[in-house]
Structure 1
């Protein structure tokens, strides 16, 4: 029995198994609108503990008051043979979002997912880079299972014999509407562990559920301004001279560039890694980093965390590592303070102290034949399964803490993440390369508190190149990953201008984008948002009867119709990417009037529209009353003392207000009050005309803008 007596139990035997059947559960409100129940034994490590976030209580208090959003009597919990069986109710029309970084589906209802950190293998089966055990209901609540374990979620996929709302009885021989997957009224989870923490998040809207989840985990991360510029990852064996030459080529083409990705060749040995500079390719690493800094660039170093026998770290850390190797490298047990301390000392001395800006952390996800097996043991007693689920979180938390101690914001890349990661400075990437699926992943990332980049690596045509570049410029990290072939943004000269234009547009939108990330930090709103999180989005998924095929679909399984190829960037901009080979596409507009970003013309209201955009533009639509702050074209994020002229565009006919965020763009001084929110607005004057205010940015509120504001009314 749990000594905390969180819930009462009855005990009986069934086929020789001890069964703990829950009678009642104590749900304790641990933060405003967030309830917790501890099931069974407390385990020594969990997902949220590994992520290390701290709830933002004051921000949570600002969200609407809400009662526990589910019927407690309909939540069932059992522990059978040291495994937890959870059951949550589902209404007939309820949609389920989240449950990991999925690449092909948005509404997860009816799916079975085995949540397991892994390289994404092309199917939404739960094995993915961020198998976050958190789901958001269209009814306005969310559920998080905080357990570092592989778990199976039956998201309304199977019907119980004791169903409260039983599925209709059908006869396949006579009923044309017979369904091979009858509707279920429960979501069930199997956790192979004898303890877990369960959290329920109130809404009342799906967006407010996500806000509570992010704020509970420390709020979203606010990147440095340079992190929102453009990044180029250079070929694997580039030397410091090669990289400087690469940076100069971006200057020659007047193409944006704020940070450089340095790939494995910077190590004196990699796969496994030394984490020490190669003396041949990088004989003067500090001078190299100083040169980049003078060019306005930050360096981001690739690594995987497996220690090479050639590293000076090897001898000291060996006793704090696992029983199995990865690429013949030691796997540090980062649940142990000793291992963390040794790695920190090594990294700070060799990287942070000489000016490194961040990391790309590779191969902490899978495959099974590369990463440590589940029979691995670790000196802390942490199981290999637990370690698999938390390793990416621990490396993120550990490295980000080093930068914070130096009062320096960082921004990097990671291959594995999990619950609680919203406050960590990393964007997920992988080796998969479907453009459409990349956009679906971007949509899904907004439900689970992670960031994702639809990076560009290569293309078969100029059309595909420009369409991919457009998408990446409207994502959390605008990245060209040229590690394998040295591709440049201008590799297809016939679309160089279109590619340059969209990269420049991202830089012009930096005030809007930076404020959107500030909303993530202070309010919990994801910067890139699924349409299902938008108020007034009226699209309803339709389950279409699949065509019977004796081989591929013998039971005529239903096909769900998701909106998975459009999304919001911040409060006002709807992004509808185009894909190679497509000349037209449908766009679903939420309630209210929507306008073309480029022209200010009305395009529709609460309806489906079909568009045929030109190749040089990514389709963008803006809400009525939107205020979009912009700056002139510039190659890099502003430096200390640099100020840009501010233009604010107004779209449509409605009055409205919006607050522009600013700070120094690089330190954590904003957490101590060194930041500003400046309210801008458009109101209706006595003569009926729209009038804008203010005309200047107040000096005390200004970090990076000139005082005078140019107002542009886009809709005539």
Structure 2
């Protein structure tokens, strides 16, 4: 009897165990084209909770509905060993983008990553400043895993024994097509928790999925106008007199300047910090800040959040800090209201209330050797891992709230972010300094819901300096970071005029940049984004292997050449940076006619072109029917009620329509409807003349536009 039922009982138990491990996914329609799936018992603390993200439901509705991108039965979730395993289907010709702020690769299929907040260490392995657990498919959908844990991602790198599309086992001895890494038909994500929630975003295009993700997070940030101007970060131990002299030098030389960044020396102690002014270098902080504001210059302060034992707030905040330190400074548990009240209360009293416009929050990312270890205990009960993944979000969220309470926008710098942070008014930077990789990071920022600046610091040659400055002008923050070098825009006399011309171009383009950031906020469209998100862009898909290395990416069916050195800037511009020592470069133009930004001349249509732009310019192209609103080359961004003249530049011959955004440029009154999109229409008559119009300013809405002229750039 026992022998008869021995194996059937074993098999029955095995089947029951397997059924217990497999979990039913609970689905909820969050908004048109957005679904939330829940597996097991998700943790109460996650990325969206930490960021405070509030979905822009009405704007998601405006995008319209779209079907679920695959069969729900194709998504599986299992619990085992206290962890949750998620699996999503993957077609053979799909490419994957995202999984955080990567610096060297755009294509992520075949990667194995651990999504872990950290300094970028020179390799795309998941450890980065914004390891956003969101990916986008070339098939036109997105997936976001809302977990504040270190996630392990197998992005089409593993083969299930009994999968739907198991590849043929090949004989390496005789078959030259034998792959070291066979084709995989799934994206698998390991979450170290007994449950998780995740979101699926429909397209139908990849950009639609990105937009839905950003709008779920409240829409992208809308900076103040001055935040899109020019900024200089001064040397560490500058005094108030040094800062005043720096501002005067910019004025005397005719270089635009909107805000100056003060580095650690503004504080009495740093690493760890006191968050108090050093009165030997800044004897009268309030008077100094007021004087600089009177000159049209705002001040941004460097700090990290680690509290010095010499800080006046140390005794009060100590009970609400971790049991480990950073540079022997106490680590506030920012998930606790008591810690936040003390920490941000000090910033408010000492700095924000006297007119400081924003912050640069340093060292909230890594490395492991100085940040708190994973054995750290925080008084809230949140784990060290969860705080590591969300500390950048917390510091952004609650510092931004200081300004929102004042009805005053801010725009600053931060070292770490994560999923849910799209609407937070900060740009990521780091200490890495590879120009080419900076551009790849700018491209990947569009898949991560963050902003990235390819800042300039110092260069070995005048050519390198100019090339870096040209990239800076076409980025979210036009910044020189001279905390160590003391570099000025004019530090390389051979290219001083070209650098000045680029800085003035940045100011002229402010109406365009501001409108594009408004689209980021209201529509979720990244202002700087990958070519893979551009309509008409089709990189060639070729089955070719360029080397015999068996570890090369085997998914040649899905891969075309990565394009990681050109990107879209706003609705109409394609930017192709130049790097030191290169006189020529190739540019891939999407389908449709494109025109040179500077001259209006025809450049090509859906083809690869080779250009030699010279030293003075980098290649920039405009779509047919492109509209670029330009303002005057001001030394500072326009004041809230200041009206400026606009020159509307028009490229090509295709009928054009553009939404020009306007508000007061500084407050949050736009949240109450105090804004407008003025529609610009341009077409050419049969005799080549322009037919133009711009809608009237709405009564009771801000109007900062004075005289408007139109210019046809293409003959």
- Give the TM-score normalised by structure 2: 0.95
| Residue aligning to 1:586 | 586
Kept in 2, the 8 Å contact 1:267–1:273? The answer is yes
| Residue aligning to 1:336 | 336
5+ residue gaps in structure 1?
A: 1-10
- Equivalents in 2 of 1:346, 1:447: separation in Å? 35
The reply on whether 1:711 has 2:710 as its aligned counterpart is yes
Kept in 1, the 8 Å contact 2:697–2:703? The answer is no
> How many angstroms does 1:346 deviate by?
1.1
Kept in 2, the 8 Å contact 1:222–1:517? The answer is yes
Q: How does 1:685-696 map to 2 (within 5 A)?
A: 685=685, 689-694=689-694
Kept in 2, the 8 Å contact 1:154–1:189? The answer is yes
User: Aligned pair count?
Assistant: 701
- Equivalents in 2 of 1:188, 1:322: separation in Å? 33
SS in 2 for 1:680: strand
| Residue aligning to 1:29 | 29
Assess, with a 3 A threshold, how the Cα gap between structure 1 residues 403 and 692 changes in structure 2: closer, same or farther: same
> How many angstroms does 1:702 deviate by?
5.4
- Equivalents in 2 of 1:532, 1:456: separation in Å? 26
| Residue aligning to 1:492 | 492
- Larger deviation, residues 18-27 vs 210-219: 18-27
> How many angstroms does 1:632 deviate by?
1.9
1:619-645 deviation line (CA, Å, top 9, x unaligned): 110000011100121111001332221
Assess, with a 3 A threshold, how the Cα gap between structure 1 residues 13 and 53 changes in structure 2: closer, same or farther: farther
| Residue aligning to 1:378 | 378
The reply on whether 1:453 has 2:458 as its aligned counterpart is no
> How many angstroms does 1:697 deviate by?
6.0
| Residue aligning to 1:201 | 201
| Residue aligning to 2:413 | 413
1:161-192 deviation line (CA, Å, top 9, x unaligned): 12211223333232233222211110001111
Kept in 2, the 8 Å contact 1:695–1:709? The answer is no
| Residue aligning to 1:6 | none
Kept in 1, the 8 Å contact 2:181–2:551? The answer is no
Kept in 2, the 8 Å contact 1:697–1:709? The answer is no
Kept in 1, the 8 Å contact 2:676–2:698? The answer is no
| Residue aligning to 1:184 | 184
> How many angstroms does 1:466 deviate by?
0.3
> How many angstroms does 1:543 deviate by?
6.5
SS in 1 for 2:598: coil
| Residue aligning to 2:271 | 271
1:10-33 deviation line (CA, Å, top 9, x unaligned): x99779999843353221101221
- Equivalents in 2 of 1:285, 1:149: separation in Å? 41
> How many angstroms does 1:344 deviate by?
2.2
Kept in 1, the 8 Å contact 2:23–2:39? The answer is no
> How many angstroms does 1:541 deviate by?
5.2
Q: How does 1:56-67 map to 2 (within 5 A)?
A: 56-67=56-67
| Residue aligning to 1:669 | 669
The reply on whether 1:363 has 2:363 as its aligned counterpart is yes
| Residue aligning to 2:612 | 612
- Equivalents in 2 of 1:306, 1:387: separation in Å? 14
Kept in 2, the 8 Å contact 1:677–1:701? The answer is no
| Residue aligning to 1:172 | 172
Q: How does 1:288-687 map to 2 (within 5 A)?
A: 288-540=288-540, 542=542, 544-548=544-548, 553=549, 555=551, 561-685=561-685
- Equivalents in 2 of 1:557, 1:687: separation in Å? 54
Kept in 1, the 8 Å contact 2:413–2:426? The answer is yes
1:96-128 deviation line (CA, Å, top 9, x unaligned): 111010000001001111100000000000000
Assess, with a 3 A threshold, how the Cα gap between structure 1 residues 521 and 237 changes in structure 2: closer, same or farther: same
Assess, with a 3 A threshold, how the Cα gap between structure 1 residues 465 and 191 changes in structure 2: closer, same or farther: same
- Equivalents in 2 of 1:500, 1:618: separation in Å? 15
1:309-344 deviation line (CA, Å, top 9, x unaligned): 111110001000001000000000011111111112
| Residue aligning to 1:144 | 144
> How many angstroms does 1:252 deviate by?
1.1
| Residue aligning to 2:5 | none
- Give the TM-score normalised by structure 1: 0.95
Assess, with a 3 A threshold, how the Cα gap between structure 1 residues 643 and 316 changes in structure 2: closer, same or farther: same
SS in 1 for 2:144: strand
Assess, with a 3 A threshold, how the Cα gap between structure 1 residues 555 and 520 changes in structure 2: closer, same or farther: closer
- Equivalents in 2 of 1:135, 1:699: separation in Å? 43
SS in 2 for 1:132: coil
SS in 2 for 1:465: helix
- Larger deviation, residues 31-40 vs 585-594: 31-40
- Equivalents in 1 of 2:646, 2:453: separation in Å? 28
- Equivalents in 1 of 2:687, 2:521: separation in Å? 40
Kept in 1, the 8 Å contact 2:653–2:683? The answer is no
Kept in 2, the 8 Å contact 1:219–1:521? The answer is yes
- Larger deviation, residues 154-163 vs 78-87: 154-163
1:413-447 deviation line (CA, Å, top 9, x unaligned): 00010001110000000000110000000000001
5+ residue gaps in structure 2?
A: 1-10
- Equivalents in 2 of 1:688, 1:283: separation in Å? 64
> How many angstroms does 1:674 deviate by?
1.0
Root mean square deviation, CA, Å: 1.9
> How many angstroms does 1:554 deviate by?
6.2
SS in 1 for 2:21: strand
- Equivalents in 1 of 2:565, 2:263: separation in Å? 31
> How many angstroms does 1:49 deviate by?
0.6
- Equivalents in 2 of 1:695, 1:640: separation in Å? 21
- Equivalents in 1 of 2:23, 2:511: separation in Å? 53
| Residue aligning to 2:250 | 250
